[in-house]
């Protein structure tokens, strides 16, 4: 293999001769074989691997740790910015929102039988089907405008003025059970 002096290796790697010696002592590039003569290819390969490791945050030295910290800070800032723009929600908030929506849906669907029974009592089958279909579409339309409300129970937090989501007791002003 070709060899070169410390000065030549320093020029090739764009550093001082002292830094070449430091890299050799750190094991990043091979130490000189003969008196002050470094093998060119292994030195270049070792230095390239070292630079790649620093870029990937693998080196463990101060510069790579600063790079890793800067990347982490940038990621944190991007996440915070996305949250502020409303482009990102936490998993916990998402779960609470979906649970509240399902609770509201359940409550709305449970009000259909008590609301429908007095209306369909003496109706024909097709009329009953149409009335129930209309009530289901009404409930779904109300739920499509549903917004979570921290002040109310999830099962009753429909948009104000969205119609009666009441219970059987509200249909005839008598308690149930």
**What string of DSSP letters covers 120-137?**
HTT--HHHHHHHHHHHHH
The conformation of residue 156, written as its DSSP 8-state character, comes to G
Please answer whether residues 90 and 101 qualify as being in contact, where contact means their C-beta atoms are separated by less than 8 angstroms: no
pTM for the whole structure: 0.40
- Cα separations (Å) of 135 from 111, 120, 127, 142? 10, 11, 12, 11
pLDDT digits (tens, 9 = 90+) for 2-49: 999 999 999 999 999 999 999 999 899 999 988 889 999 999 999 999
Please answer whether residues 145 and 175 qualify as being in contact, where contact means their C-beta atoms are separated by less than 8 angstroms: no
pLDDT digits (tens, 9 = 90+) for 55-93: 776 656 676 678 788 999 999 999 999 989 989 888 898
Please answer whether residues 38 and 30 qualify as being in contact, where contact means their C-beta atoms are separated by less than 8 angstroms: yes
**How many CB atoms sit inside 10 A of residue 68's CB?**
15
Burial class, 157, CB count within 10 angstroms (exposed 0-12 / middle 13-18 / buried 19+): buried
**Half-sphere exposure at residue 138, Cβ-oriented, CA atoms within 13 angstroms:** 15
- Cα 29 to Cα 48: distance, rounded to the nearest angstrom: 10
């Amino acid at each position: 293999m070709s060899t070169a002096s410390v000065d030549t290796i320093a020029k090739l790697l764009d550093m001082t001769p002292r830094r070449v010696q430091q890299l050799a002592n750190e094991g990043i590039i091979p130490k000189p074989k003969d008196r002050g003569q470094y093998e060119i290819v292994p030195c270049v390969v070792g230095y390239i691997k070292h630079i790649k490791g620093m870029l990937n945050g693998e080196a463990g030295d101060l510069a790579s740790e600063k790079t890793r910290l800067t990347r982490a800070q940038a990621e944190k800032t991007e996440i915070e910015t996305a949250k502020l723009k409303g482009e990102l929600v936490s998993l916990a908030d998402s779960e609470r929102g979906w649970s509240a929506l399902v609770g509201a849906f359940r409550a709305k669907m449970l009000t259909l039988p008590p609301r429908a029974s007095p209306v369909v009592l003496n109706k024909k089958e097709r009329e009953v089907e149409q009335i129930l279909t209309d009530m289901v579409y009404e409930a779904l339309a109300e739920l499509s405008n549903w917004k979570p409300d921290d002040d109310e129970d999830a099962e009753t937090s429909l948009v104000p003025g969205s119609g009666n989501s009441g219970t059987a007791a509200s249909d005839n002003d008598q308690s149930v059970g």
